[in-house]
Amino acid sequence: MLANLTIDSRRLWDMLMETAAIGGTPKGGIRRLSLSDEDRRVRDWFRRECEALGCTVHIDTAGNMYAIRPGKDMSRKPIAMGSHLDTQPTGGKFDGVLGVLGGLEVLKTLHQAGYETNSPLCLVNWTNEEGARFSPSMVGSAVYAGAYTQAQMDAVTDKDGITQGAALESIGYRGAEKPGALAFQAYFEIHIEQGPILDEENLSVGIVTGIQAIKWFNCTITGRESHAGTTPMAYRRDALAAFAEAAGEIRKIAIDHGGLATIGIVSAYPGSPNIIPGEMRFTLDMRHHADDVLKTMVTAAKIAIAEAATGHDAAYDVQPLQDSPAQPFDATLIAAVRAATEKLGLPSREITSGAGHDAMYTARVCPTTMIFVRCAEGLSHNEAESATLEDCGNGAQVLLEAVLAYDARG
């Protein structure tokens, strides 16, 4: 018989607001880049909170933090919850943070009630989920799952030439444990949806069935810079003109295939008002819920870049940056989340995640699922990101119910 435990929504909300002050921005968001001093401060806060509950905090060489709450049978692998505490440069109060603090509220509720689970529980703070300072994203969970090596992680540099390894050392969060050495029985992650579906359908929570496929690229089109006033249009090798044509075609490709395409970073060189750009560098993010369709989209995008460059007598280069196949979640864990929403009478629906999450990598090594919480207008990666106290509480309550139900299965 499961205990009838209720999380404290106000306590969860207060933790969200308290941590939002660490790296808080004038517009009400958070700037807490991975492995910055602000990241160190929130990590210190997280560690203190977990240790106050009697948890033992472990740290691996990737900087991932694992707070272990003992269970009746310590021979069992822990049931894990988690997400990340780093943010975008102009991030909101809920992206990632809700997953860690929602899990912390579960631990506080169990601690307050003196409830002992059969299996140990583990609350995780993953390193560098956002990929804002060091790219690619989700690197801590990727190293945990064996998708990247520690050496690959350490070698990545930020815009100032600081390596990720040096930054990790500088904030004092390079642990001694090998990533992946602590194996999970299962992993649950709560997160705001970051999309408009739940809000539009007036639903509090989403039952996440998987994550769509994602491919990132670094692209370059190289023409020739020349004088803007003396070079006739027909004689130009204009890299920006080629880029503009390619960008328009890539947008059409995404729409035609029911997928997504985003060019998030664009730089023109040499960057003078009266010089025709000789080089364009840009990123390309393409997504679809089906791997085969995404492959077709990427091929079409590469052809579009090649044809646009050739049409302007320019060269081109497309280099892969990140490749994440579509990742379905575990049916048993999904059922546990669904049962929790039904027990609580919460309006919900099944949903596929359009964004990448650390759960994408944990799903490669253990049963995994996610719980989505409604966010206003689906707005995220923005200082105006907003969710309600009630919805955050509902998500944490679903998390608690699902974890306890899974634990009771033995």
* 381 annotated as a binding-site residue: yes
Residue with tokens 């579509």: 326
Q: Which helix (H) or strand (E) is 333 found in, with range? A: helix 331-344
* 288 annotated as a binding-site residue: no
Answer yes or no: are the C-beta atoms of 32 and 97 closer than 8 Å.
Answer: no
Nearest Cα to Cα of residue 187 among 373, 37, 402 = 402
* 289 annotated as a binding-site residue: no
Per-residue CA distances from 179 to 64, 75, 173, 274 (Å) = 8, 20, 13, 51
Three-state DSSP class for residue 95: coil
* 84 annotated as a binding-site residue: yes
* 111 annotated as a binding-site residue: no
CA 181 to chain CA centroid, nearest Å = 22
Answer yes or no: are the C-beta atoms of 69 and 116 closer than 8 Å.
Answer: no
Cβ within 8 Å of residue 90, ≥6 positions away: 25, 27, 29, 31, 381, 382, 383
Cβ within 8 Å of residue 166, ≥6 positions away: none
Cβ within 8 Å of residue 115, ≥6 positions away: 3, 5, 109
Binding site membership: which residues? 84, 95, 130, 191, 381
Can you say which residues are annotated as belonging to the binding site for Zn(2+)? 84, 95, 130, 191, 381
